[in-house]
Each structure stands twice: as structure tokens, then as C-alpha cells.
Amino acid sequence: MHGDLPGSPTTWQAIRDVMMRRIRTRAYTPGSLIPNEAELAAEFGCARATVNRALQDLAASGFLDRRRKAGTRVMEAPRRKATLDIPLIRNEVEARGQDYEYRPLLREIAPPPGPVAARLHLSGGETMLHVQSLHLADGAPHMFEDRWIVVDTVPAITGADLTRLSPNEWLVRESPYTHGTMEFQAVAAGAAAGPLACAPTAPVLSILRITWMHEAAITHVQEYFTPAFRLGLEL
Amino acid sequence: MHGDLPGSPTTWQAIRDVMMRRIRTRAYTPGSLIPNEAELAAEFGCARATVNRALQDLAASGFLDRRRKAGTRVMEAPRRKATLDIPLIRNEVEARGQDYEYRPLLREIAPPPGPVAARLHLSGGETMLHVQSLHLADGAPHMFEDRWIVVDTVPAITGADLTRLSPNEWLVRESPYTHGTMEFQAVAAGAAAGPLACAPTAPVLSILRITWMHEAAITHVQEYFTPAFRLGLEL
DNA sequence: GAAAATAATATGTCTGCACATAATATTCCT
DNA sequence: AGGAATATTATGTGCAGACATATTATTTTC
């Protein structure tokens, strides 16, 4: 069982990688107990704290399940988590080497429509900033966004210049959020067909995103991507 | 600047949470340097290693940028990464309190079509297992999957009983993967319309997933969800 | 004045030790 | 036998000290 570390430096990352390999290759099978920290420390020739750091990392990534006294076991269904970073549209477009352009289409103060108010836990009488805008890549429509912002939560938004900076970029910079939700679905382009220059029946990927500052809703955005768009991510 | 910890226990998580709050509330502004580890250790009245553990966690989460000698600064655009766990369809359905059912539709040995071969870096002459199946929730169609499996990479699959266990569940149990990719897009139901019992023009969410064992492709799956489906996740 | 050598600094990490905490195993008592 | 008290065990976390490493700042050299 020895021979995995050829006398190499015993950093906690190195130990994590060896353990990861053992999990992947099923040297440790799903559901089984792995040796305890003291034994592993002896095997790797390092301090127990170093093993502990490595195993904590794997547990945080969902590959191990650790419980005091019960020991450490390999997770049955290694809940593969895809980490999908949510880049600013600008960065996403520019990362592909394309030119980014932002075009504001509408800006008004209005009360929220029923579904928006409901999702944000509002009564419906609040003052909200309603913004529609189009994001372009190399001059072609890329994404149309329909956004509602709760003015009470982010008062400074009313004074923001949203002609050059997109509301999302402004919010990211000026208004941190504590949590939020996202929903992906496929819809017919419908009202977004005009700005996206596609057929109203064309299937488009739509993302609904809602963010919160503690119990106060910040914003509600529905994004409609151009029909050809594919959202890719690594596992 | 003191008074954040009322003499409470100084665990690294507590320190992380205090620092997180300072970032969120802009006590530390984006782009700015925060005090170094020694200073923070003095402030919190703990060892430097404890502060280090806390800051490493925040850096791993993307809130801080740390560099030797340069110090630690708050990330300009806290790249929020949504972690989307990829549950087995069975678990996803059952988590909603619905009955899960799996129905195999097709099973054949065939060479891969061009696009599949290209994405898996195959020549096109390989033996592959082609499987189509339908996943149902409470008796209604939920997802249709069209899967190609590289027999050379997973020889045992040819002997697997896929009439009761879905190929995905079999693969998760028997064949670990090293990495993979996912792509989301909106498409017209098309050929999936039959199994999903919807119009061929209905917009459906489609996920393309490819997994690898080192350089060898394992499987290529195209999943088509029922039109009403929304994929939700937390930020 | 430009390039090279040197110093200073902040983070990265390991070690050995101590004690805390949670969960299980064992013993003891009635 | 049943239940409560106690011991045992594996992980969780803290501490102080030491050295490694990357990067920037400073000084020296030609």
C-alpha cells in the first residue's frame, strides 16, 4: 500500500491529490472507511494536522464524509458539483475575443408587475426602477435583459448613469448581495424577439436571477440569450 | 475598528465570518489592501495560523486575492460562482416528492455519428453502445436522454442490465471520471417531442454532457427536459 | 543611469503539542 | 435485562515556532 509518495514534499495539497486519486481509482471504494488521520500521517510521514487539512479540503469538495469518532468515509454518490462562474456579460464576451457593446432600451420608474412583486416578497406598491437593455457581441445581439430594481434597497441607483454602464455592472460594484437564486429554462423568444432579431417562436435560453441583501430584495432580472447561445461549464 | 469580536471564541470560521461581513458591508472596499495576517491576529487575539486559515477560505471562495509579499486585497468583482450540483435524475425527482420511473427505449451497438465522434475525439470506427431512455416523474415525461458510451473505455457496460438501472446510475456507480464538460442550450424539442409528449416546436432545455477518464472519452449524453422544466440553483 | 545583487516583507506551510467535541463502546448498577 | 454513567476514539481546532517562497523595495556595481 506504500509507494505512493516517492519521498516527495509532503504538502497538504500533495496529500489531497494522492487521496483524490485513490478515491477516483477506487483504491478506496464508495461508502468504505478510510484509514484514520494518525495512520495516514504515519504512512505519509507527516504531522496529523497536515493530513487533517487535506481531508478537510476533500470533505468540503464533497468527496469525503467525516464524522467525529465515526471516522472518514468515501461518499457514495460523489455529488459532482459544476462550478459555474457568473461572469459579467462584458467579460464573457471579451473573453471570446469579441467586441462588447451595451445599449440601454428603456428606463422607467414603475410599480412591479404581480409575478415580480410576488417573487421579491413585495406588496406591489413599491417604487421600482425598470430597465431593459441589450448586450451585443461584435455588433450582433447577444442577450436581452429585463430588470427590476428595488429602489428602497438600493436608493443610489436612481442617480446612477446607466447609459454607459450596465445596471448589472453598477450593482456588482456598488451593491453587494448576501444570497440569491437562479433559474434556467428554455422559452420562446416572444417579446425578446425584437431586440434579439430572431423569430418570436425561436427557442432561447432564459435565466431568471434574483438577489437579496438579507431579507430585502435587490433586483429581479430575466435574461434572454440569442438562440445560438450555449452556456458551457467544466466539471 | 475594534469591537467586532466580543471576546467570543476565536475559531477560524468565526474570523472568516467577521471578515466576510466586513467585505460585504464595504468596511474593506473592493480592490483595497486589508491588514496583514500578523495585524489581524493581534486584533482578534489569536495565532497567525488561525487568521491564515480564515483568509485562505475566503480566497478559495473568490472574495480575496492573496499574493506573497503583495498582501491580501478584496477582489474587485467578487466572481460569484454558483455551485450547481448534478444530482441523479432519480434523486432530483424524488427530492420533489414525486415518483420516479425509468423507461429504456432503445439499446444498440453502433458506430458513433460524426458530431459525436468529433466531440469525443474518436475516429468514427469505434464500437459504441447507443441508448435512449425516458425518465418520468409521477408518470409524466420529465427528461429524454440520448446517450453514446465508448465501449473500449467501459467494457463492462455491455454486460450491464440497463432495463432497471439507468445508464447514468450504472456509470456513476461503476465508472468514475476525471473530468468533463456541460453545455446548456435551448432547442426545439424535435425528435425528443415524441417521448416527451410535446410539440416538436416546443422550446426545451437541453444539456450536453461529456465525461472523460483521463484522455479516454467515456460517454456523450444529450438530455432534453420537458418544456415546463426549470433548473434552479442557489448563489 | 541601468542592470544586478541584496534585503525586507507577507503569505504558505509543516511540526508537535494540547485540549475540545461528538459519537460510539463498555461497564456498572438496580 | 434495561438503562445510566463512564471510557474510548476520531476528528476539530488552537498555539507557538520555524522555515520556505514569492514578490517588491533597496542598494550596490559597472
Q: Report residue A78's pLDDT band, with 50, 70 and 90 as the boundaries.
A: low
At B225 the pLDDT is: 96
| Nucleotide nearest B47, from its CA to each C1' | D15
How high is the pLDDT of residue B8? 56
pLDDT of residue A6: 45
Judged by a CB distance cut-off of 8 A, whether residue A108 touches chain B is no
Dihedral sign, CA of B94, B96, A213, A116? positive
Residue extent(s) of CATH 3.40.1410.10 domains in chain B: 89-225
Intervals of chain B under pLDDT 50: 1-7
Q: Which amino acid is at B59?
A: A
Query: A108: closest CA among A122, A127, A95, A124?
Result: A127
Dump pLDDT digits (tens) for A51-71: 999 999 999 888 899 998 999
Residues 6+ apart with CB under 8 A from B175: B153, B154, B156, B157, B213, B218
- Cα A51 to Cα A36: distance, rounded to the nearest angstrom: 9
Q: Is the pLDDT of residue A194 over 90?
A: yes
Mean pLDDT on A179-203: 93
Whether any strand D atom is under 7 angstroms from the Cβ of A48: the reply reads: yes
CA B65 / C1′ C1 distance in Å = 36
A188 interaction partners in chain B (CB closer than 8 Å): 203
pLDDT > 80? residue A3: no
**pLDDT tens per residue, range A127-174:** 999 999 999 999 999 999 999 999 999 999 999 888 888 998 888 878
Which of chain B's residues have a Cβ under 8 Å away from the Cβ of A58? none
Residues 40-79 of B near strand D (Cβ < 7 Å)? 45-50, 53, 67-70
The residues of chain A that CATH labels 1.10.10.10 are 12-74
User: How many other C-beta atoms can be found within 10 angstroms of the C-beta atom of residue B15?
Assistant: 25
Q: Which residues of A touch B75 (CB under 8 A)?
A: none
Nearest-CA residue to the C1' of D10? A69
Q: Give the distance from residue A94's alpha carbon to the nearest chain B alpha carbon, in angstroms.
A: 16
Pairing of strands B81-85, B231-234: unpaired
Tell me, what's the pLDDT at B194?
93
Q: Lowest-confidence range among A15-29, A185-199, B2-16, B39-53?
A: B2-16
Residue A5 has pLDDT above 50, yes or no: no
**Nearest CB neighbour to A182, from listed B183, B188, B232:** B232
Among A2-11, A41-50, A167-176, the least confident range? A2-11
pLDDT digits (tens, 9 = 90+) for A99-132: 999 999 999 999 999 999 999 999 988 999 999 9
Distance CA B75, CA B72 (A): 9
Fold entry, domain A12-74 = Arc Repressor Mutant, subunit A (1.10.10)
Residue B79 confidence (pLDDT): 61
Cell output for B57: 477560505
pLDDT of residue B85: 66
Collect all residues of chain B within an 8 Å Cβ-Cβ radius of residue A184. Answer: 184, 205, 230-232
Contact A184 B30 (CB under 8 A): no
Q: Count helices and strands (H / E) in chain B.
A: 7, 10
C-alpha A142: how far from its chain's center?
20
| Phi, psi torsion values for B188, nearest 5 degrees | -75, 145
Q: Using CB atoms, pick whichever of A82, A183, A206 lies closest to residue B86.
A: A82
Would you tell me which CATH number, out of the four given (3.30.465.10, 3.40.50.1110, 3.40.1410.10, 3.20.20.80), belongs to the domain B89-225?
A: 3.40.1410.10
* B196 three-class SS: helix
pLDDT of residue A79: 59
Query: What's the mean pLDDT when you consider all of chain A?
Result: 88
Backbone angles phi, psi at B141, to 5 degrees: -60, 135
**Quick check: A185 contacting B, CB < 8 Å?**
yes
